[in-house]
Amino acid sequence: MIPQDAAPTSLKGKTCLVTGANGGIGSAAADHFAALGARVMTTDVSDSYMGEADADHRALDLMSDLGLAACQKWIAEECPDVLFNNAAVFDMGSILQADLEQYDRLFSLNVRAMYGVMQGVAQTLVKVGKAGSIINLASQAGHRGEALVAHYCASKAAVISYTQSAALALAEHKIRVNAISPGVIDTPMWEHVDGLFAKYENKAKGQKKREVGEAVPLGYMGKPYEIARVAVFLASDQSQYMTAQTLSVDGGNVLRM
């Protein structure tokens, strides 16, 4: 039986905060949220939002204490119903190469800032007595180690673990916490990733990107909108009975691990 209150996916009346909003996945999510009726708040290190949504944008460096504190203050003032916790940075290096400076940089944004923003949204929602949805961006890299991606894999594994812990802690407040693990997604960041693989694996430029796309069971690299569509589902009431989950959106790549 279809519930009488069932309705098409809609975000009308919701306020959605997107971090890392000028990346391919972040801007796609913000645009999708806005298209479905949400008021959208965006933040990135750059001064203006480069997507299509009519967004309330703030330039914030979440790797700095001042930037993170400013974001938490903004959250307390605006009380977003939905968080798409997307901001992240990527780098490479094996245990023999990846130094503590790289560790500090990746964990500062991928874990510390992710946690700080998530906590800020959770505390605000609990204070005002509202339900909500927190969506953390993990990665297929968070499900297993990779020889050349030590710190990044560990940081995304932490995202998955924090998602599970937060979901259990916030369930009594009707705040759902889930994560998305993208596979290989064709974003501007992949130019940087491809260059690093070219350096560490002695490959021609563009070779790694082509190889990883061909290796996906569905046969191609994903597009940012394919992640955004899942973010919309998790943000909406369509997923109201889901929490503590990490959804692999990777064209079946999880089975290639």
152 is catalytic: yes
Q: Looking at 152, 162, 200, 225, which residue is catalytic?
A: 152
- Distance, CA of 166 to CA of 178 (rounded, Å): 9
d(C-alpha 240, C-alpha 65), whole Å: 34
- Residues found in the chain: 257
Instruction: Beginning with the edge strand found earlier in the chain, give each strand of the sheet holding 55-59 in spatial order.
Output: 55-59, 39-44, 15-19, 82-85, 132-137, 175-182, 246-249
- Two tokens at 54? 């009519």
Kindly provide the b/e burial profile for residues 185-218, where b requires at least 16 CB atoms within 10 angstroms of the residue's own CB.
bebeebeebbbbbbebeebeeeebbeebbeebee
CB 168 within 8 A of CB 122: no
- Burial (CB count <10 Å: 0-12, 13-18, 19+), residue 105: middle
Which residues are part of the catalytic machinery? 152
